[in-house]
Amino acid sequence: MLTTEKTKTNSSAARDGAPRKVPQQELAELIRRVVREQPVRDLHTHLYPPTFGTPFSGSARDRDASGLMLWGIDELLTYHYLVSEVYRVVTTRQLPYESFWRMTKREQADHIWKNLFLERSPISEACRGVLTTLERLGLDVESRDLDSYRRWFAEQDPSEHIDRVMQLGGVSRITMTNAVFDDNERRRWLDNARVGDDSRFAAVLRFDPLLRNWPSAAEQLAGWGYAVSDELNDKTVEQARQFVRDWIDRMRAIYCAVSLPPDWRYEGGDDQRLSSVVLRKIVLPVLAERDMPFAMMIGSKLRVNPGLRDGGDMVGLADVASVARLCADFPANRFLCTMLARENQHELAVAARKFGNLMIFGCWWFVNNPSLIDEITRMRVELLGTSFIPQHSDARVLDQLIYKWDHSRELIARVLVDKYGDIAASGWQPSEQEIRRDVQLLMHGNFENFLGAGAK
């Protein structure tokens, strides 16, 4: 219905102190700029500061072959996504997995560069990401001169490079994944209580085996001095809770996390599945006590092809109803959740409409591709407005922060241009201040607010 009453013009609105409304034609550019400028708090990565050691030390020289801080062009090229992709081109008949893994990192990178970049165009998302990163670092992509890129990285100091990459990626703080059951990771925390003391990074206690394989986890806890048996009696429960508390405190973890297989289920209060009992009696009571969220990343079938190592994991359809039951049964807990299957995304977004203690996040791993980020983000805005966390990087190599956030910012902005355009068409003219407020929530505030008082 057309209204006859003239709407307020910007000048009259400006006169009475209301925020300036953005004319439609300027809206798209403003939104893109705001999304580009808004620092993001990356809530899930596999990145580390130099204190965790680095196998490629650049100008710093102190290499650590089992170091956890991965960075530089050879790590970028040997990302497990690209190992999987190169084995589609050069099969195991031509190059058995063992032969590949016996190569040096440099030889593996040469193999991937030759087969995925030079002999075929690097148009997959993981290949394209390498090019975006090189270009944003100011290197000459057109030269295709891999050794020149190597020479440049060899001159960089790892810690200074972290600052550079965070600045280029617009990342305000990096959230680690600290897998306490990984011997290399655990040893570093036990050897050096200050290993996590880099303010650019926040720790996350990750303990998949507790839920994926309790008997094995119980055996390891016993070996670490906790009086636990694989029978979940009161003594075991209390000791396992103490294990979780001890590592939250040692790491100063901001949340705890697991990745769960697609067939993981939670059937409610009397569910006697080991993972459900461990959740109900050990994990969730400690997290409620500590006012800390619990992150569940659901849908990964591990090592369906062991020869590919980290690249050998697969996706499967998960059960959103189990997440909904958890949210209902544990109202004092807060749940971060992302799922790996595209087919789970709509139901998970609807579950988030039902439970305020559920915060869905990211386009994880196999749905972290432009076509699916667009589809999923669009659907989430339509169902949840600004009350979700659109993305995390899942970066494993420091430099990936640049491309993963470049690509995602562009896609998130594209969705927001349409959505603000839709409301502007009805006469609701968003101000720049309102757009900045909303984008800050999506990229930073929703995560920080969900963390609770204890962790920042």
**Residues of the shown chain interacting with ligand FIX in the complex, contacts defined by CB under 6 A:** 46, 177, 259, 297, 300, 310, 365, 394, 396
User: Smallest distance from the beta carbon of 204 to ligand FIX, in angstroms?
Assistant: 10
User: Smallest distance from the beta carbon of 360 to ligand FIX, in angstroms?
Assistant: 16
User: Smallest distance from the beta carbon of 389 to Zn ion, in angstroms?
Assistant: 15
- DSSP-derived letter for residue 306 is G
User: Smallest distance from the beta carbon of 42 to ligand FIX, in angstroms?
Assistant: 13
Residue closer to ligand FIX, measured from CB, 313 or 438: 313
**With contact defined as beta carbons under 8 Å apart, do 175 and 41 qualify?**
yes
Residue closer to ligand FIX, measured from CB, 261 or 430: 261
Cα dihedral across residues 47, 52, 57, 58: positive or negative: positive
Partner touching 396 among Zn ion, ligand FIX, none, CB below 5 to 8 Å by kind = ligand FIX
Partner touching 336 among Zn ion, ligand FIX, none, CB below 5 to 8 Å by kind = none
* Residue 239 host element (H or E): helix 234-251
User: Smallest distance from the beta carbon of 297 to ligand FIX, in angstroms?
Assistant: 5
Residue closer to ligand FIX, measured from CB, 67 or 312: 312
**With contact defined as beta carbons under 8 Å apart, do 438 and 387 qualify?**
no
Task: Write out the E strands in 24-83.
Answer: 40-42
Is residue 394 a contact residue for Zn ion (CB under 5 A)?
A: yes
3-state secondary structure of 232: coil
Partner touching 212 among ligand FIX, Zn ion, none, CB below 5 to 8 Å by kind = none
Choices 66-74, 245-253, 285-293, 388-396 (CB under 5 A): range interacting with Zn ion: 388-396
C-alpha span between 352 and 347 (Å, rounded): 9
> What are the backbone dihedrals phi and psi of residue 361, each rounded to the nearest 5 degrees, phi first?
-145, 150
The length of the chain in residues reads: 456
Which residues have a Cβ under 8 Å from the Cβ of 137 and sit 6 or more positions away? 152, 164, 168, 399, 402
What are the helix and strand counts (H, E) for the chain?
A: 21, 10
Partner touching 152 among Zn ion, ligand FIX, none, CB below 5 to 8 Å by kind = none
Site for Zn ion in 243-282 (CB under 5 A): none
Task: Write out the E strands in 261-352.
Answer: 294-298, 300-301, 314-315, 335-339
Q: What is the largest CA-CA distance in the chain?
A: 78
User: Smallest distance from the beta carbon of 43 to ligand FIX, in angstroms?
Assistant: 12
Q: Minimal CB distance to ligand FIX: which residue?
A: 259
Can you say whether residue 138 is alpha, beta or left, with left for phi > 0 and alpha for psi between -120 and 50 degrees? left
Residue closer to ligand FIX, measured from CB, 8 or 396: 396
Residue closer to ligand FIX, measured from CB, 152 or 365: 365
User: Smallest distance from the beta carbon of 456 to ligand FIX, in angstroms?
Assistant: 22
**Other CB atoms within 10 Å distance of the CB of residue 342:** 17
Residue closer to Zn ion, measured from CB, 122 or 293: 293
Choices 205-213, 329-337, 389-397, 448-456 (CB under 5 A): range interacting with Zn ion: 389-397
- DSSP-derived letter for residue 431 is B
Partner touching 47 among ligand FIX, Zn ion, none, CB below 5 to 8 Å by kind = none
User: Smallest distance from the beta carbon of 365 to Zn ion, in angstroms?
Assistant: 7
C-alpha span between 59 and 158 (Å, rounded): 8
Footprint of Zn ion (CB under 5 A): 394
